[in-house]
Amino acid sequence: MESAPLPTVALVTGGIRGLGLATARLLAAQGQLVHITYHRSDGRAAKLEAEFPGRIHQADLEDQPQSEALVQAILERDGRLDSLVHAVGNYDTGQATGAALLTAMWRSNAMTAMHVAAAARGAIESSQGAMVFFGCAGLEGHGPRLDSAAYAAAKSALLVLVKSLAVELALSGARANMISPGLIPHDAAHEDAMSEELLAQIPMGRPGSPAEVAAAAAFLTSDQSSYTTGANLPVSGGWMI
């Protein structure tokens, strides 16, 4: 009699809230063992303990040693890591000439991603798994941004890094892709996601939902996307095409 396959193990950084939490809940509903992280939880971690027992981690992913300790804790707990969904990255508005803002956006959106990717790489390659990173709508066009230039610049840099990582991982069978959400209202979203003026510009005539973003992340970490790498999948209803 054949034994049942072991459940796969996923890490959703920033899974304490918003799009990360929606993704973590979907992966858990699919039967995966899901680890989530937070930097500052405001009590959210305790409320989620019953959903993710023993798999909630506090970590500042701007710090490489903390990223490495996070992955090590997962491997010690579950022995493997099959997928990484990186849902960490602050959003802020400001002009491109604001050096302090650009540095902050770079550290939060690009450096956290590369730190956790470096820490998880060996485990992901061993499992021939997948990494998924969050971008933002409109990156492929590289158009000017009057209100979010530093943020978009950091996400654009991340896209280049993700594509490069995809090439590096390819021979191992592991993959790296990006999801670029549009306006997705949720409990942790920036106020821009609720702007009636911006929402009116979405070609599909409505905002997206966290569930739709989570479904895209689940697809890109599943065997159904085993030949997809280096892609940037927009989940934006056509906004900023």
222 contact partners, CB below 8 Å, separation of at least 6: none
Q: What are the residue numbers of the active site?
A: 151
Give, as one character, the DSSP assignment of residue 34.
Answer: E
Q: 3-class DSSP state for residue 214? A: helix
**Which residues are CB-contacts of 135 (< 8 A; sequence separation ≥ 6)?**
155, 158, 159, 178, 179, 180, 181, 232
CA terminus-to-terminus distance, the chain = 52
Q: How far is CA 182 from CA 186, 194, 218, in A?
A: 12, 11, 18
Number of H helices, E strands in the chain: 8, 7
Cα atoms found within 13 Å of the Cα of residue 228, Cβ hemisphere only: 17
29 vs 238: CA distance, rounded Å: 29
For the chain, the residue count is 241
Q: Which residues contact 200 (CB under 8 A, 6 or more apart)?
A: none
Q: Within 91-146, where are the H helices? A: 99-105, 112-127
